[in-house]
């Protein structure tokens, strides 16, 4: 599958690239067809890290240091540096997409990019947490004069979940691939319709996780009504078919029905809010079908020429993070504040809260719980651009999980210092 994805991406974009952050970047172009040439951007980062709780333990914590090397390359044509869409993929989210932020920017005729990013981590003592992650992303869009836009995209990840963050209590590694396409058509001056289809596959490397390999098929439809040149109302429906290779009792069909509002009032503010109802119906009659409120929202706001604010919120079902439960209901809120101190100094501060309830009986150390988690995280970053091609970053990351399961609450602090070279 990996070779297929890379070959497909090369055939579309002629060259390749991306980051391991899980965010895809797509861009606005204001040039003629194939105009403006291409944008070729290789880079490499070297980071030293100190982690005071490598194994995410409540007691008997172990600290360690590590070196992280992250090479990457980005190719886009026509030339662009602006970001149109951010995509957040996670292996426990049905369909693979936790959040998709369409920037609402338009290109004249065509846009394509390919991005590879690697992340190679080596610990000093905790070598069983060493990892080699790879991510390849590709995107291609073509806009016709008649109001039809066609897009295809592919996101491949060879990655991992840290200790206790996946479907086991250990260190889970996996490969995943999200491939899909969508078509958007303008009907007159007011209406726009969009349809998309995607396939998400995830396979775990450990034999004891093989029963959780699965394939998700997703079909989405949207109808937009333009309220003004910069604002639109929308209604939508998503259908998801979650199909496990072996654990067939977890197979489910999910339905999302919602309305919403999106805006791009100016370069200073844009966003989208979708709210409605979601259901999860299991193939196994022994599992209870679920239904709950659905939310997906994001907003970017430029407070001043040097200060920007980003808000994210969602409420979705996730696949089980344990072998003894059926699913999870996750509610998240995130705030990111960035500020350009000078032409060379940039700072960023973010905070996130996630509340998770587990559907089904959670068994740990032979004790049964109705598990509920509260997760808190904070990140502070200072970046100094020494030259156009050279920068250094100092970052602090804090994470805390509070849970009603005895022995699974913990705190984790990470300090990182890195240098990035780019062309």
Give pLDDT tens digits for 194-243: 999 999 999 999 998 889 999 999 999 999 999 998 999 999 999 999 99
Q: What is the CATH number of the domain that holds 96?
A: 2.40.160
Question: For position 81, what pLDDT does the model report?
Answer: 60
Q: Does the residue 192 lie in any domain?
A: yes
Q: Which two tokens stand for residue 82?
A: 């602006």
Would 55 be classed as within a structural domain? no
User: To the nearest whole number, what is the mean pLDDT of the chain?
Assistant: 86
Asked if the structure places residue 405 within a domain, the reply is: no
How far apart (Å, rounded) are the C-alpha atoms in residues 225 and 234? 6
Longest Cα–Cα distance of the chain, Å, equals 65
On whether residue 369 sits in a domain, the answer given is yes
Inter-residue contact 12 to 138 (CB < 8 Å) = yes
- On whether residue 62 sits in a domain, the answer given is no
Into how many domains does the chain fold? 1
pLDDT tens-digit readout, 325-369: 889 999 999 999 999 999 999 999 999 999 999 998 888 888 999
Residues in the chain: 423
Least confident of 39-43, 120-124, 221-225, 412-416: 39-43
pTM score > 0.85 for this model?
yes
Span 110-150, pLDDT tens digits: 888 899 999 999 999 999 999 999 999 999 999 888 889 99
Answer whether residue 398 is part of any domain: no
Q: For 278-304, what is each residue's pLDDT tens digit?
A: 999 998 888 888 899 999 999 999 999
Q: Find the domain containing 298 and state its range.
A: 2-39+75-393
Unique residue bearing structure tokens 């060259």: 15
Alpha helices, H only, 198-356: none
CA 271 to CA 11: how far, in whole Å?
Answer: 33
417 occurs within a structural domain: no
The whole-angstrom distance between residue 278's C-alpha and the CA centroid of its chain comes to 20
Share of the chain above pLDDT 70, in %: 88
In a domain, 48, yes or no: no
């Amino acid at each position: 599958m990996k070779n297929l994805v890379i070959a497909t991406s090369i055939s579309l974009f002629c060259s390749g690239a991306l980051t391991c952050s899980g965010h895809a970047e797509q861009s606005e172009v204001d040039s003629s067809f194939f105009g403006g040439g291409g944008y070729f951007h290789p880079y490499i980062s070297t980071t030293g890290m100190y982690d005071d709780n490598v194994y995410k333990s409540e007691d008997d914590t172990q600290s360690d240091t590590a070196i992280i090397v992250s090479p990457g390359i980005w190719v886009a044509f026509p030339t662009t540096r602006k970001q149109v869409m951010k995509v957040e993929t996670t292996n426990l989210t049905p369909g693979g997409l936790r959040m998709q932020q369409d920037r609402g920017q338009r290109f004249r005729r065509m846009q394509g990019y390919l991005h590879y990013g690697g992340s190679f981590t080596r610990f000093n003592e905790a070598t069983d947490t060493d990892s080699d992650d790879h991510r390849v992303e590709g995107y291609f869009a073509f806009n016709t004069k008649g109001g039809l836009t066609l897009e295809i995209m592919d996101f491949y990840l060879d990655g991992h979940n840290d200790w206790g963050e996946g479907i086991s209590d250990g260190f889970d590694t996996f490969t995943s691939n999200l491939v899909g396409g969508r078509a958007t058509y303008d009907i007159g001056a007011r209406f726009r319709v969009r349809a998309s289809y995607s396939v998400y596959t995830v396979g775990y490397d450990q034999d004891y996780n093989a029963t959780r390999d699965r394939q998700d098929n997703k079909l989405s439809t949207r109808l937009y009504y333009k309220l003004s040149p910069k604002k639109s109302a929308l209604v939508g429906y998503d259908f998801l078919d979650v199909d496990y290779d072996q654990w067939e009792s977890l197979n489910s069909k999910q339905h999302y029905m919602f309305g919403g509002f999106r805006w791009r009032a100016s370069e200073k503010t844009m966003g989208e809010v979708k709210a409605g109802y979601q259901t999860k119906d299991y193939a196994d009659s022994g599992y209870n079908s679920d239904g709950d409120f659905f939310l997906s929202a994001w907003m970017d706001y430029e407070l001043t020429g040097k200060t920007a604010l980003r808000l994210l919120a969602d409420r979705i079902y996730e696949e089980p993070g344990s072998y003894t439960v059926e699913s999870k209901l996750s509610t998240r809120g995130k705030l990111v504040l960035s500020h350009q101190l000078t032409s060379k100094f940039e700072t960023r501060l973010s905070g996130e809260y996630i509340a998770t309830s587990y559907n089904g009986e959670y068994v740990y150390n032979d004790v049964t719980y109705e598990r509920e988690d509260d997760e808190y995280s904070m990140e502070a970053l200072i970046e100094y651009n020494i030259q156009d091609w050279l920068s250094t970053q100092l970052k602090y990351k804090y994470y805390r999980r509070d849970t009603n399961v005895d022995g699974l609450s913990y705190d984790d602090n990470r300090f990182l210092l890195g240098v990035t070279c780019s062309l």
